[in-house]
A and B are shown apart, each in its own frame.
Chain A
Amino acid sequence: MGIINRILLFVYTLFFGVLCAGVAGLCLHIVPERVVVNEYEYLVSQWQTGAVAGVLLLVSIHLLLCSVSGRRTKEVRSGELLVIQGAAGQVNVSLTAVRDMAERIAAGVHGVRQAKAKALVEHRRDEGDFLKLDIRLEVGQERSVAAISDDIQIQVNRYVTQIAGIDNVEVAVSVQSIASGVSVKKRRIK
């Protein structure tokens, strides 16, 4: 479950917890009936009550759909990849480490000015875990974009497979911008 859904679930269950505590208090006659009636009439007359109810209804529908959705794949954007499961124990590689490696390799390719990578693991029911690397580049004009992209895909794929020992990997390269190649020198003398 993602972080946003967790926050929604927390708020939702907190609200219902408080509501249930209130109902229990009513049943035990902790709160006088006239106070309850007054509060009820006040709340019903406010538009904010309707707005909160509407928001909670939408959250309910969202969480209900999340719970019954049968997604074939599940994406994980943080955590670790299991590389080896041996008799001596497990070897896990964090997605942060994989991302840093990919960025470093991509930045070292001739023609690349800047590289940013995102790494996520896709849990596919039928095929197992897949590592997806999304590399975004700023390139220069000295080399063709196609050649740079091919180079990066080959090098990153090779490194992740041979050095990190991760077999199922997909590398997606997207070129975000092309640098103009003109650098402005600042005068140092007056």
Chain B
Amino acid sequence: MANDTIKLEEGIGSVRIADEVVSIIAGMAATEVDGIAGMSGGLVGGIAEILGKKNLAKGVKVEVGETEAAVDLYIIVKFGVRIPDVALTVQEKVKTAIESMTGLSVVEVNVHVQGVGFPDTEVREEEVRVR
């Protein structure tokens, strides 16, 4: 992991940004979009959540070069929202967030819709008719 960092050479020193930081920025920007039910982390992510470990980079894969980055997001959308509209909003927000916070140029943000989140069905309690 220590090798997967972006190094920005400045006059007075260098700035190292870990790949995971870019993933977290992308993940947080994506989950803020209206219409996103959550991020899809697969089996490992699911087990980690059950164990209580919060993973802000869940469902995010990044490829980072010297000056550019490419992001793949695995999302779950809410039932009833228009998928292309939500996906395009996610692409814009993630790109803006990463470029403004890290200075990297985002070449592509690929969105993979892995599932649909349905609202919880209400549970009606049966009335007790006898005593």
| B6-14, B46-54, B76-84: which lies at the interface | B76-84
Contact of A93 among B83, B91, B118 (CB under 8 A): B83
Interface: B67 (CB within 8 A): no
CB-based contact A104/B118 at 8 Å: yes
Interface: B112 (CB within 8 A): yes
Interface size bucket, A side? 20 to 34
| A17-25, A78-86, A134-142, A171-179: which lies at the interface | A78-86
Closest chain-B Cβ to A92's Cβ sits at a distance in Å of 5
Interface: B109 (CB within 8 A): yes
Closest chain-A Cβ to B93's Cβ sits at a distance in Å of 11
| A40-48, A68-76, A161-169: which lies at the interface | A161-169
Residues of A within 8 A of B84 (CB): 83-84, 91, 165
Residues of A within 8 A of B18 (CB): none
Given A88-B108, A104-B79; A96-B130 close (CB under 8 Å):
no
CB-based contact B87/A91 at 8 Å: yes
Per the bound structure, the CA–CA distance linking A104 and B112 in Å amounts to: 20
CB-based contact A89/B114 at 8 Å: no
CB-based contact B111/A80 at 8 Å: no
CB-based contact A100/B88 at 8 Å: no
Closest chain-B Cβ to A155's Cβ sits at a distance in Å of 12
Interface: B105 (CB within 8 A): no
Interface centre among A89, A92, A104, A188 (most CB of B within 10 A): A89
Do most interface residues of chain A lie in helix, strand or loop, or is the interface mixed? mixed
Interface size for B (C-beta < 8 A) is 26
Given A83-B84, A163-B82; A89-B91 close (CB under 8 Å):
yes
Residues of A within 8 A of B33 (CB): none
- Contact pattern, A 89-110, Cβ under 8 Å of B = 1, otherwise 0: 1111110110011001000000
User: In this complex, what residue of B is CB-closest to A159?
Assistant: B80
Complex interface residues of chain B between 57 and 76 (CB less than 8 A to chain A): 70-71, 76
Residues of B within 8 A of A97 (CB): 76-77, 113-116
Interface: B34 (CB within 8 A): no
Residues of B within 8 A of A92 (CB): 110-113
Per the bound structure, the CA–CA distance linking A164 and B95 in Å amounts to: 22
Residues of B within 8 A of A94 (CB): 112-115
User: In this complex, what residue of B is CB-closest to A162?
Assistant: B82
Which A residues are within 8 Å of any B CB, using their own CB? Answer: 80, 83-84, 86, 88-94, 96-97, 100-101, 104, 162-165, 188-189
